[in-house]
Chain A
């Protein structure tokens, strides 16, 4: 278990990471997710001991380790650009950490072999680094860190340099590896899909602070703020006023400015009962939670709009809709099974939309 208490880093007068609290349990795959420049790397580098915190503590199994020099910490970092030693071959790179600890040569050889097996790079021992492909280099970097049997593996966007296919494949491998080894993986990414696919929990960061922590589903479905919601995927937003609370389901009833009535889920961290009737709220709807229906808008969560544009995206199509009267256009995802190519969805036609019942 690692625990970060009040940890902050200032460069000059600017907080790269505002004093932050974070706790990661043993065996967790934990992702730090956030836009570029939000302080992910800074946090990771402080954990690795490569950057001195401006304030705060880092604890590992209850023991403070922030005063411990990098090379004595049981944490290993997989660098954003791998940082493989160009003058050493694959074996030399992987063995580097063990040799630093003066481990006996036979043991080193055995563990290097084991680590290379783990990342499926047997037979690459003598290859020079510059002869490896991006994906292979990434595995060497992984093996180089794992061979030391760290308590925590820190990964700084290790997949960002890979193409989509390889990336998917490496994601699966990483996840499997983590399950097998049972280590803490602290994984930095700015790809929300990647974070959600891999992690037990994620922390969403913005402007140097963690703005929400939780299971991927929770964070996705019940964001604590609009910023989190926006960062995790496309969304449609409509402003309205609380009308009341559905007593047995706990859903809020919200009426929008144009007179629609929607049922929505309370924000993470707030009791439905704490919303006073008349309170102004923003309701966000994910594009995949909307379904086109036949019939008119008489039931509660049905909206009517005109198709403005249809975009083919492969497995899905996306409609851009505009409501009479309402401001910003909305996005709706259609699965191919929903006959996304039907003429009703050509630009100019009117459609009725049903909101999926809120969950969670």
Chain B
């Protein structure tokens, strides 16, 4: 029973004010800072590194300068390569996820989500350790291969998840029909499966390509800082060269890419063909499973090596690294800080985001398209843009950087995920349930409390979990908004990785990995998340 948004019946209408907190937040901690970056990009650099209001286009002219065009080319190439690799490796995995039996499915979901939920610095580090096991003569350390593995394994989930969703919603009887009409497996794939799930894989490609464009930490850690990318360039302008106007112009480019991605995704959404799910799912063909193996290896292999290595000492198996890790107070302090920041920002984001999602679906208000666009664009925006725009904004306001600013930054980072996740769930909500409740004598308050909210809870919790993960995983935003001496856990690990590998990290990472796994499995049990996803 699809109903257009502009005709929300009285029974289901919710107050538009619900969107205000999130709207205000996104305005103050995202839109205005970004606007400030845009403004700065037209200014000039002062003699001592500040900005002066001498309006000009020079910064943009410099971008198309030969030297920087090469940098741009590198970034584009990295992004394209990553996106295509993710598509080829990830689609079979998504297919397997969609067709797997009930017993295997939660494990596969875990395989995709677990790396997603482990800190990306840890992931990068795990890859480093794994490649370190190969003979030195192969020169895998700091090689393009290392960078490729790091990029693909980091961005793979962003492609697999939307493809999986699209495949779950596929009307599988269409595939049977195609087979029945004599189509070969190849034709079924190219002419039926891919076109019908286009929404999923194109969205996935957008989700990978745009943020990957601004990526530089992975190439930095795994590639040994050999190639210059837009990301490094931007960071350098803000942190080293102190040429903020030029850095801003580069950021505006990344922001434009995100906006383009958002626009493309929007078009995709509106062109969606009506389609109901149904039909019997086939058993996953052996071919699909085999094709999915490389993706699984990339996702899980390094993590396995990491855990294994954490027990290896100079004289055989040992617990020493664990003892050392738990005795390192600076690390523990940063871990606690990350937990605090994660919980704080997740709470903030899920409360604001849920309220906004409710209003987006069930009421009309003036700023609605703006709110949707802001959320959609910031979802695709490379993290570095958010990080430095907050840095620029906070410092121009004279706000003291510290834990509070990290929490604010992280809440902004994850707010769109909560909004869009809860909104998607709420849009699929079976409205006749509310009518049934009203018919049974429930007041609007009771309908909301006893029917709507409980049914939305899985989405809200998933959003909160996502928010926590994003915060716990984030390096860049924290790096820019933390201020001196305030290290989050990823920042700590990053610096440890940079200044030589310490085996303690192995142990600590393994501990985190196991706790993530236990937490995730527990939540899955408790919330029946995988069942509700169906």
Q: Which of B435, B441, B442 contacts A83 (CB 8 A)?
A: B435
| Interface presence of A274 (CB below 8 A) | no
| Interface presence of B253 (CB below 8 A) | no
Q: Which of A50, A52, A85, A87 contacts B439 (CB 8 A)?
A: A50
Q: CB-CB contacts of A88-114 with B at 8 A, as 1s and 0s?
A: 000000001100110000000000000
| Interface presence of A40 (CB below 8 A) | no
Query: Is A85 in contact with B433, judged by CB distance below 8 angstroms?
Result: yes
CA distance A75 to B440 in the complex (A): 9
CA distance A286 to B436 in the complex (A): 41
| Interface presence of B139 (CB below 8 A) | no
Residues of the B chain whose Cβ atoms lie less than 8 Å from the Cβ of A85: 433, 436-437, 451
Q: Which residue of B lies closest to A48 (CB)?
A: B439
With both chains docked as a complex, state the minimum distance between the C-beta of B382 and any C-beta of chain A, in angstroms.
39
Residues of the B chain whose Cβ atoms lie less than 8 Å from the Cβ of A97: 440-442
**Given known A-B contacts A71-B440, A71-B441, A100 and B446 have beta carbons under 8 A apart:** yes
CA distance A153 to B432 in the complex (A): 17
Residues of the B chain whose Cβ atoms lie less than 8 Å from the Cβ of A77: 435-436, 439
Query: Is A70 in contact with B432, judged by CB distance below 8 angstroms?
Result: no
CA distance A242 to B117 in the complex (A): 85
Total B residues in contact with A, Cβ cutoff 8 Å? 19
| Interface presence of B225 (CB below 8 A) | no
With both chains docked as a complex, state the minimum distance between the C-beta of B433 and any C-beta of chain A, in angstroms.
5
| Interface presence of A60 (CB below 8 A) | no
Q: Which of B10, B441, B450, B451 contacts A72 (CB 8 A)?
A: B441
Most buried by B among A49, A77, A79, A85: A85
With both chains docked as a complex, state the minimum distance between the C-beta of B432 and any C-beta of chain A, in angstroms.
4
| Interface presence of A148 (CB below 8 A) | yes
Q: CB-CB contacts of A38-49 with B at 8 A, as 1s and 0s?
A: 000000000011
Residues of the A chain whose Cβ atoms lie less than 8 Å from the Cβ of B441: 71-72, 97, 100-101, 148
Name B1-31 residues within 8 Å CB distance of A: 10-11
Name A54-98 residues within 8 Å CB distance of B: 69-72, 75-77, 79, 81, 83-87, 96-97
With both chains docked as a complex, state the minimum distance between the C-beta of A10 and any C-beta of chain B, in angstroms.
14
Residues of the B chain whose Cβ atoms lie less than 8 Å from the Cβ of A75: 439
Interchain Cβ contacts within 8 Å, total number: 65
Residues of the A chain whose Cβ atoms lie less than 8 Å from the Cβ of B11: 50, 70
**Given known A-B contacts A83-B432, A85-B433, A49 and B439 have beta carbons under 8 A apart:** yes
Name B341-379 residues within 8 Å CB distance of A: none
Residues of the A chain whose Cβ atoms lie less than 8 Å from the Cβ of B495: none
Residues of the B chain whose Cβ atoms lie less than 8 Å from the Cβ of A69: 438
With both chains docked as a complex, state the minimum distance between the C-beta of A146 and any C-beta of chain B, in angstroms.
11
| Interface presence of B236 (CB below 8 A) | no
Query: Is A100 in contact with B430, judged by CB distance below 8 angstroms?
Result: no
Residues of the B chain whose Cβ atoms lie less than 8 Å from the Cβ of A49: 438-439
CA distance A114 to B471 in the complex (A): 52
Q: Which residue of A lies closest to B441 (CB)?
A: A100
Q: CB-CB contacts of B435-458 with A at 8 A, as 1s and 0s?
A: 111111111001000110011000
Residues of the A chain whose Cβ atoms lie less than 8 Å from the Cβ of B446: 100
CA distance A21 to B352 in the complex (A): 49
Q: Which of B432, B443, B455 contacts A100 (CB 8 A)?
A: B443
CA distance A97 to B450 in the complex (A): 12
Q: Which residue of B lies closest to A81 (CB)?
A: B432
Most buried by A among B432, B439, B441, B454: B439
Q: Which residue of B lies closest to A74 (CB)?
A: B441
Q: Which of A52, A76, A81, A86 contacts B440 (CB 8 A)?
A: A76
Q: Which residue of B lies closest to A11 (CB)?
A: B7
| Interface presence of A144 (CB below 8 A) | yes
Name B479-516 residues within 8 Å CB distance of A: none
With both chains docked as a complex, state the minimum distance between the C-beta of A272 and any C-beta of chain B, in angstroms.
47
Q: CB-CB contacts of B378-422 with A at 8 A, as 1s and 0s?
A: 000000000000000000000000000000000000000000000
Residues of the B chain whose Cβ atoms lie less than 8 Å from the Cβ of A48: 435, 439
Query: Is B436 in contact with A83, judged by CB distance below 8 angstroms?
Result: yes
Query: Is B440 in contact with A100, judged by CB distance below 8 angstroms?
Result: yes
CA distance A83 to B435 in the complex (A): 9
Most buried by A among B10, B432, B436, B440: B440
Binding site for A on B (CB under 8 A): 10-11, 430, 432-433, 435-443, 446, 450-451, 454-455
7 shortest interchain CB distances as A-B pairs: A97-B440, A100-B441, A83-B436, A83-B432, A100-B442, A70-B438, A71-B441
Binding site for B on A (CB under 8 A): 48-50, 52, 69-72, 75-77, 79, 81, 83-87, 96-97, 100-101, 144-145, 148
Q: List 20 A-B contacts (CB under 8 A).
A: A49-B439, A50-B435, A50-B438, A52-B10, A70-B11, A70-B439, A76-B439, A77-B439, A79-B436, A84-B436, A85-B436, A85-B451, A87-B451, A96-B437, A96-B450, A97-B440, A97-B441, A100-B443, A101-B441, A148-B441
Taking A76-B439, A85-B436 as known contacts, 5 extra A-B pairs with beta carbons closer than 8 A to each other, sorted by chain A number, are: A70-B11, A71-B441, A71-B443, A96-B450, A100-B440
